[in-house]
Amino acid sequence: MELTDFMPEEGWVALQNELHQRFNLNADVMNKEGKRLRDNTWGNDLCKAIREDAKGFGAICAPAGQMFLQLMQKGQKPFAEECDAGMMRVCVPVLKDGEFLGAVGGCGLVADEGEVDGFTIEMMSDLDAELITQAAKGVSVASEDRVQEIQDFIQERVAEALA
C-alpha cells in the first residue's frame, strides 16, 4: 500500500501546504522510504539557509532526517523531537491496518522552553553568526499544547484520507 492509494498526490500536497500556512512549519509529506512527495515549504529562513548550505545539510539535516525516519518507522506513533540546531520536528506516521505508509508533519519550530542553538549551527555549517542570529528571530515558538494541536490536526486529516 502507498499513500497515493488513499488520496491523490495533489491531496497530500494540499495537506502539506495547509500545515505550512496554518502552523508555519517546514511542512512535508513522506512516503514509507522517507522521500518527500514534494519539496519543503519553508516556515523560516534559518532552516532554508541550513538546508542550502552543504556542510549544514550534511551535519544537521541529513542525520536528523535519518533519526526521524527511524522513529517514524519503528515507533509508529506521533512524536516531536529536536534536531542538533535546537528546532523540532512534529510528526505523525500514517498507518493503515498496522502498515506504515509514510508520515505527515514538519520541522522548524522551537519548543517554548528551548532555543535555537546558534553556536552549534555555526560550528556545523558554513553560515556566519550574524545570519544565524537574524534568521533565528523568524523561528516560531511552539508550546506543548501547540504541538498537540498540530498532531491532532494531522491525525484528523489523515484519518479522513484513509477512511
Give the helix/strand (H/E) hosting 26.
strand 26-31
pLDDT in tens, 97-153: 999 999 999 999 999 999 999 999 999 999 999 999 999 999 999 999 999 999 999
Say yes or no to pLDDT of 72 above 90: no
pLDDT interval class at 67 (50, 70, 90): confident
pLDDT interval class at 68 (50, 70, 90): confident
User: Would you state the pLDDT for residue 66?
Assistant: 87
Least confident residue range of 18-32, 64-78, 123-137: 64-78
In degrees to the nearest 10, what's the CA dihedral of 100, 106, 107, 108?
180
Least confident residue range of 35-44, 121-130, 153-162: 35-44
Q: Taking the CB of residue 43, how many other CB atoms lie within 10 A of it?
A: 24
All structural domains of the chain with their residue ranges: 3-162
Q: Taking the CB of residue 76, how many other CB atoms lie within 10 A of it?
A: 15
User: Would you state the pLDDT for residue 11?
Assistant: 96
pLDDT interval class at 25 (50, 70, 90): very high
CATH of domain 3-162: 3.30.450
Residue-wise DSSP of 91-143: EEEEEETTEEEEEEEEEEEEETT----HHHHHHHSS--HHHHHHHHTTPEEE-
User: Would you state the pLDDT for residue 74?
Assistant: 83
pLDDT interval class at 34 (50, 70, 90): confident
Say yes or no to pLDDT of 75 above 80: no
User: Would you state the pLDDT for residue 53?
Assistant: 97
Q: What is the mean pLDDT of residues 4-31?
A: 95
- In order of 19, 90, 92, 122, the CA distances from 151 in angstroms are 10, 7, 6, 31
Burial class (CB in 10 A: 0-12, 13-18, 19+), 16: buried
Spatial distance between the Cα atoms of 25 and 67, rounded to a whole number of angstroms: 19
Kindly state the cell numbers that stand for 103.
508520515
